[in-house]
Structure 1
Amino acid sequence: MLSLLITRLSNNRIAIALCNVFIMALPISLLATFCNLLEIFAFRMEWLSFAETIGNVGRLTAHIFPILINIYMAMYLSDTHRLPKSATIACSLVAFFIVSYQWTFISTVIPLPNSFAVALLSAFMTSTLISIINRTKLMHVDLSSSVVDNSLKVLACYILSLTSIVLVSSFIKVMIMPTFSLYNWFPVLNPLDFTDAMIYEFIRSILWSFGINGHNVLHTYKSELYDITVANIEAWRNSGDALNIISANFYDFFTGMGGSGNTFSLVVCMLLFAKNRGYKTLAKAVFILALFNINEPLLFGIPIIFNPIMLVPFILVPQVSLVIAYFSFWIGWVEPINEVNSWLLPPLLSGYLSTGGTAGGVILQIVILVVGVAMYYPFFKIMDTRSEGIDVTRIFNRRFFVNSDMAVKSKLASFIPSMQSNLQAQRNVERLNAEGEMILYYQPQVDVKNGQIVGMEALLRYRTHNGDILPPTFIQSFSQLQMMPELDYWVIEQAIQATSPYSSRPGFLLSINVSSDTILTKGFVKYLDKLIIGSSLKYEQIEIEITEELLVSDEVMTAEVINQLRTLGVSVALDDFGTGFSSLAYLSRYDFDKIKVDRSLIQKLDTARGKELLRIVVELGKVTNAKLVVEGVETHEELQYISSLGVRYVQGFYYYKAMPLDNIVTLMDAERVVV
């Protein structure tokens, strides 16, 4: 069931759009929250003028968030439908403002639209209508027509789309909603009743689940509760009246620690249990904000909003927290809240101050936090496991600092849809573990002048329980899960351990292909150094093969690693030379001991163009003074031509296929082989 849900999410263009949009808008949320914190700090320091200014900036920034959501969604959908971007955004914004004012979805603080749902819906409806109308024969832009005619068609298309949205909205508002008013759907709630408190908390969580600010929609309830709370505390102080269990801060301090959904429990859960590096980083980044009950970065960063996996605990945790808190007060284990404090007070401190400086409030909050962590854990574990190998920080970096365009074609453009690829990769790895084992084969490298084996490359293979030997088609799954370092380390350890007994043979050389993820791992060179020291092999008997992918990843760090390896005495070979568009550029930047020409360059030797291309590549390789090895040599004709170019070393089926180490040892021991 979960797999089906994730699969549908992965292929749902609306889900992909929502993920992209909220990630793009996240910096605005962060900016607003930092302004709020600065305002509080400035007031504490009595910098009143600065506090007022930064507070206004924060409130204005927060209020333009829905507007940006509308703009980003319009941008995304205009790319999807191939519509003029600026005109689509303008039309979407106008529709958003008109519909919001029609329905009074306007902030009471700053007169701007504040509904996420309307922001998204207006952008979606606008772009969809424009796309439909634009495809009609009457409105379709014809390049053979004049500029004036096409401009009029575009203008008419957008006006018609906007008019349609406004008319439909007006019809619903005037003809339907008087009978089915939105607020008539909400029950009349008694602010002091336990059952009504559960209903209020449930409605608030549901609204936030769809990006609608529950506090704004239910502000009349919260305002009434605030007035009742102030009067009740005043009566308690003056005449000793009993304190109400439910008060204005009851929700802030016991069902909303860290923000709606009691998400401080989720932050703690992520810090303690997250295996995904991106989630761990996100938890550290939002921890301070969560202390002050600000959780927008968490809502949009995991995300929680529009995420069917995380919405379950997001709704349930506050309900359970409310029950625990209510009955703790009712039984008398904890003193009722006896003063009104700011909702920004951190957990534990808020429990202590709100209950008159008693430890009971602190203990109650700790219990609720622990229960919340336990409830969030199984759902977060699903996200964490399915997202292993996806780095949210890389996604954010790509969105904020690298590419301002939204990826509309790739399912990996956002975070939740990426889980489907990870889920499939995990299944592949689990199936491999269940149905067989990894083994190493070795393919000799041969000196064409005398037919002697001058080295061998360790190659990963998979052996099923039936004894079938399969090529490593599974490597992509390990890469998807960011498990390449583990796989490479296994190969390196096994290869060095297996070949160590043969280190005394003259000219022995072991070549190991290492992925870019592994080589750039901190401490890789020290790790390799330790393995070699613990074996009988010498440094000069080890060769590390790298690909152009590594050279592109991080040139500075790559150069440092190559220098460290060569300083040890380990050879460095450039693998798959000639396949990358920038391979030639790297020949002048790095010192390689060996260059391995890719098999793809000799597959067309039956043509004059193919022969000339290989000749040029070989000549370029010779300029570096590195040894040249041509891979994939399979026929006598290929060998003859390669030899005529002055290439001395080859690797391929013409001489030997990849084989178990024992077979190579037998070859090396034969009288015709001298190593």
Structure 2
Amino acid sequence: MNALMDKIADKILPFAEVLSKNKYLAAIRNAFVTIMPIIIGCSLCTLLNCVFLGKGNYFDKWFGFQGLDIVNVLGAIGSAGMNIMALLIVYLLAKNLAKEYKIDEDAVSVTAVVCFLIITTFGTDAKAGEYIRTYYLGAAGLFTAFIAAFATVEIMRRLMKCKALIIKMPDSVPSGIARSFNSMIPVIITMFIFGIVRFITNAVGTPLNDLIFNFIQTPLTAIITSPVGIVVIYFLYMLLWGFGIHTGYIISQPILEPIFLINLTQNAAAITAGHAATHILTKPFTDSLMFMGGAGNMLALVLAILIVSKRKDYKQIAKLGFIPSLFNISEPIMFGLPVVMNPVLIIPMILVTLVSLGIGTLATVTGFMGYTYVMTPWTTPPLIGGFLATGGKIGGLITAAICLVVSVLIYMPFVKAMDKELEKDEEK
């Protein structure tokens, strides 16, 4: 078995290493990590308005908050972050990638924002004048933001290498002003290139935002979140974890979370508007059902060890890892037990993830759990996360509890198998 694991590791480790070192994925990951506090804060405001203060909800029935400034203020905070998410991302992506290339971060990042707006659809109104719909600046514009940021950086990086395009200022000129003049021609050329792209898409009759949304963002989201796609992804996700590769950094944050964040934003917008949410898969869905105690529902493994294991060393490690697992920190168990490179535990780790995914999906579509639309911190304790992510629905808490119990039951026979393995070794 160990020989087989070594062969598998030899095949997948180079692929994982390529993903972990990819500068584009790293830029996406770091950008979303930066805005995560904003997204959580906005979600908190949505939770307060939709669950407690909104019309017909808990406290409104008793105190009548509807119409008070607090409701409007919380609504404004929630919209402020969510509705300009793409604008924040385009700036951060360009800045992160420019830093990687060691070129002028400020010039590149602000140019990327302008270039993003150049290819964004503008509207006009007789009274308001020219405007941009927040639809294009929010989740629907994320993939346009990716393309605009990466294209801006790559274009400017190449233009800045051309000495003929760099305006050299005398040494007496302050460095800030000199740097601004150095990048002036590359900035202007880059903006004109994006202007040409807008001219072409206008001639076609379909804005670039809509082309990207319809032909890239929507199909890619559909493929990844399809039943087959998501099962394959999380099978590989947990398999890589089993070989000690932190897939949260190379798969979840740069690839899955942007799509899950789009789903969450659209769910929150639907709930706020009084409509039904439609997306099952969001980050709080995976955090509160599939990653209780960390990847592979590590809290379930801790409980299984404490319940059925006879090994003193395992019980000691489980006790040490219990408190961290209550805040979804899995590393003490993952690497202390260890779970990684352990053929007995890799199998149930994959199983509990996929089974919890299935239970959560069934509970959502049947209406028992409700859709997740509130971004909770990843350290939110198990069960509580399911309750908060669904806007305070008891079904969310019960579904999380069911996933936890089923996961414990799945882990139990494998924990017993490890006990027997020790007994055989001792007999030898």
TM-score by length of 2: 0.50
SS at match of 1:269: coil
Query: What one-letter code is carried by the residue in structure 2 that aligns with 1:209?
Result: L
Matches within 5 A, 1:565-604: none
Matches within 5 A, 1:207-356: 209=256, 211-212=258-259, 213-215=261-263, 248=276, 255=280, 261-270=285-294, 272=299, 284=327, 320-321=358-359, 324-325=362-363, 347=386
Does residue 10 of the first structure (1) align with residue 10 of the second (2)? no
Does residue 70 of the first structure (1) align with residue 90 of the second (2)? yes
Deviation at 1:99, TM superposition (A): 2.4
Query: What one-letter code is carried by the residue in structure 1 that aligns with 2:358?
Result: V
CA contact (8 A) 1:102 1:170 kept: no
CA contact (8 A) 1:267 1:283 kept: no
How many pairs align?
298
Does residue 128 of the first structure (1) align with residue 148 of the second (2)? no
Matches within 5 A, 1:570-649: none
1:279 and 1:177 mapped to 2: Cα distance?
Answer: 55
Q: Specify which of 59, 71, 75 is matched with residue 79 of structure 2.
A: 59
CA contact (8 A) 2:120 2:136 kept: no
Matches within 5 A, 1:93-132: 93-101=113-121, 112-114=137-139, 115-132=141-158
Equivalent position of 1:168 in the other structure: 197
1:278 and 1:72 mapped to 2: Cα distance?
Answer: 35
Does residue 36 of the first structure (1) align with residue 33 of the second (2)? no
Query: What one-letter code is carried by the residue in structure 2 that aligns with 1:211?
Result: P
SS at match of 2:164: coil
**Alpha-carbon spacing, 1:113–1:197, altered in 2? closer, same or farther (3 Å):** closer
Deviation at 1:199, TM superposition (A): 9.2
**Alpha-carbon spacing, 1:181–1:90, altered in 2? closer, same or farther (3 Å):** closer
SS at match of 2:187: helix
Query: What one-letter code is carried by the residue in structure 2 that aligns with 1:16?
Result: A
**Alpha-carbon spacing, 1:314–1:363, altered in 2? closer, same or farther (3 Å):** closer
1:88 and 1:118 mapped to 2: Cα distance?
Answer: 17
Query: What one-letter code is carried by the residue in structure 1 that aligns with 2:256?
Result: S
SS at match of 1:268: coil
2:385 and 2:74 mapped to 1: Cα distance?
Answer: 21
Q: Which has the higher strand share?
A: 1
Query: Which 5+ residue runs of structure 1 have no aligned equivalent?
Result: 188-195, 228-247, 287-311, 330-335, 378-675
Query: What one-letter code is carried by the residue in structure 2 that aligns with 1:28?
Result: I
Q: What's the CA shift string for 1:64-92, capped at 9, x where partnerless? A: 33322222222223333333333222211
Matches within 5 A, 1:389-468: none
Deviation at 1:326, TM superposition (A): 8.8
Matches within 5 A, 1:140-159: 140-142=166-168, 154-159=183-188
Deviation at 1:264, TM superposition (A): 0.9
1:81 and 1:90 mapped to 2: Cα distance?
Answer: 16
**Percent identical:** 17
Equivalent position of 1:23 in the other structure: 33
CA contact (8 A) 2:86 2:138 kept: yes
CA contact (8 A) 1:74 1:92 kept: yes
Q: Which has the higher contact order (CA 8 A, sep 6+)?
A: 2
Q: Specify which of 100, 103, 107 is matched with residue 80 of structure 1.
A: 100
CA contact (8 A) 2:293 2:328 kept: no
CA contact (8 A) 2:169 2:181 kept: no
Equivalent position of 2:163 in the other structure: 137
Q: What's the CA shift string for 1:211-249, capped at 9, x where partnerless? A: 145448988xx89xx97xxxxxxxxxxxxxxxxxxxx46
CA contact (8 A) 2:165 2:186 kept: yes
Q: What's the CA shift string for 1:477-512, capped at 9, x where partnerless? A: xxxxxxxxxxxxxxxxxxxxxxxxxxxxxxxxxxxx
Query: Which 5+ residue runs of structure 2 have no aligned equivalent?
Result: 1-10, 124-130, 220-224, 235-251, 303-316, 330-349, 375-383, 412-428
Q: What's the CA shift string for 1:185-207, capped at 9, x where partnerless? A: 869xxxxxxxx9969999xx999
Structure of larger gyration radius: 1
Deviation at 1:163, TM superposition (A): 1.7
**Alpha-carbon spacing, 1:169–1:372, altered in 2? closer, same or farther (3 Å):** farther
Equivalent position of 2:343 in the other structure: none
Query: What one-letter code is carried by the residue in structure 2 that aligns with 1:18?
Result: I
CA contact (8 A) 2:94 2:108 kept: yes
Q: What's the CA shift string for 1:321-349, capped at 9, x where partnerless? A: 4774599x6xxxxxx77x99996697479
Does residue 183 of the first structure (1) align with residue 193 of the second (2)? no
2:359 and 2:265 mapped to 1: Cα distance?
Answer: 22
Query: What one-letter code is carried by the residue in structure 1 that aligns with 2:214?
Result: Y
2:352 and 2:114 mapped to 1: Cα distance?
Answer: 33
Q: Which has the higher helix share?
A: 2
Matches within 5 A, 1:503-514: none
Query: What one-letter code is carried by the residue in structure 2 that aligns with 1:265?
Result: L
Query: What one-letter code is carried by the residue in structure 2 that aligns with 1:320?
Result: G
Q: What's the CA shift string for 1:104-161, capped at 9, x where partnerless? A: xx99767744433222332221122111111123203445699799866632210111
TM-score by length of 1: 0.34
**Alpha-carbon spacing, 1:313–1:171, altered in 2? closer, same or farther (3 Å):** farther
Matches within 5 A, 1:555-566: none
2:197 and 2:29 mapped to 1: Cα distance?
Answer: 28
Deviation at 1:8, TM superposition (A): 1.5
1:23 and 1:261 mapped to 2: Cα distance?
Answer: 18
CA contact (8 A) 2:122 2:133 kept: no
2:352 and 2:153 mapped to 1: Cα distance?
Answer: 31
CA contact (8 A) 1:92 1:126 kept: yes
CA contact (8 A) 2:168 2:181 kept: no
